[in-house]
């Protein structure tokens, strides 16, 4: 899988990334108080990749303590953040079509009120989507009540038509591959930050979509609870 879209200029790639991120329409609908700029992500230093790979484990129980806003920002950037001025992201995407959307059900996060948020990659910001703490609702939709104990739950969804426009029926496969890329980034970044996560794919899709208020074309693919180890 490649980020490059043959025949597209770098400027077109950047414009496409902003469109597919949904940043422009989302920002147009929201007032200034509903969009929260996040701390800039760290792109240098930290735990060696080999050490993170060796230490990575699926974690379903966590230690007490709140999540820091900077930690959440780093996780979101690792999953779907922009890593170059031309709009390319941390996770590869077939044809740079970027079908994924990333939501956060936040619990105790320092500097962030509990509620539902959508990550906007282009401005590296959160758009507030709801005031209710949705962790218990997501746990119920998954039939796995331990999920409610996470400090936050990241939800990876997709709009397959973004990729289907270019790749047709192959889009289903490419989207499935892409969510795996993003999830592994979250795993490794969590490990590097001293946090723990696990990917959960067993849940009632319709109930999760209702909890998050997803559009009809958006399909929830994975839940990733975050906590301290």
Query: Does residue 5 lie in a domain region?
Result: no
* DSSP codes joined into one string, the chain: --S--TT--HHHHHHHHHHHHTHHHHHHHS-GGGEEEPPPPP-S-SS-HHHHHHH--B----BS-PEEHHHHHHHHHHHH-B-STT--BSS--GGG---EEEEEEESSEETB-SEEEEEETTTTEEEEEESS--HHHHHHHHT-GGGGGSSEEEEEEE-THHHHHHHGGGHHHHHHHHHHHHHHHHHHHHHHTTEEE--B--S-HHHHHHHHT--TT-EEEEEEEEEE-
Number of domains in the chain: 1
Query: Does residue 4 lie in a domain region?
Result: no
Query: Does residue 218 lie in a domain region?
Result: yes
Query: Does residue 100 lie in a domain region?
Result: yes
Query: Does residue 1 lie in a domain region?
Result: no
Query: Does residue 222 lie in a domain region?
Result: yes
- Which pLDDT score, from 0 to 100, does residue 45 have? 84
Structure pTM? 0.86
Query: Does residue 123 lie in a domain region?
Result: yes
Residues of the chain with pLDDT under 70: 1-33
CATH number, domain at 161? 3.40.109.10
pLDDT in tens, 117-162: 999 999 999 999 999 999 999 999 999 999 999 999 999 999 999 9
Its domain, for residue 207, covers 10-228
Query: Does residue 15 lie in a domain region?
Result: yes
- Which pLDDT score, from 0 to 100, does residue 161 have? 98
- Which pLDDT score, from 0 to 100, does residue 20 have? 41
């Amino acid at each position: 899988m490649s980020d490059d879209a043959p025949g597209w200029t770098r400027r077109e790639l950047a414009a496409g990334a902003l469109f597919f991120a949904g940043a422009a329409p989302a920002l147009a609908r929201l007032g200034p108080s509903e969009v929260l700029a996040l701390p800039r992500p760290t792109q240098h230093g930290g735990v060696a990749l080999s050490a993170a790979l060796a230490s990575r484990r699926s974690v379903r129980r966590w230690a007490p303590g709140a999540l820091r806003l900077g930690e959440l920002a780093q996780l979101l950037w690792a999953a779907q953040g922009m890593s170059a001025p031309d709009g390319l992201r941390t996770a590869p995407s077939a044809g740079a079509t970027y079908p994924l959307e990333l939501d956060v059900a936040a619990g105790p996060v320092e500097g962030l009120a509990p509620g539902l948020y959508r990550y906007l990659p282009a401005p590296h910001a959160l758009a507030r989507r709801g005031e209710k703490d949705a962790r218990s609702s997501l746990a119920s939709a998954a039939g796995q009540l331990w999920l409610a104990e996470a400090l936050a739950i990241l939800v990876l969804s997709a709009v397959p038509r973004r990729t289907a426009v270019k790749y047709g029926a192959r889009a289903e496969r490419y989207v499935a591959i892409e969510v795996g890329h993003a999830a592994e980034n979250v795993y490794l970044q969590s490990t590097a930050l001293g946090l723990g996560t696990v990917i959960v794919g067993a849940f009632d899709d319709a109930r999760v979509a209702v909890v998050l208020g997803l559009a009809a074309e958006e399909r929830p693919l994975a839940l990733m609870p975050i906590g301290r180890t």
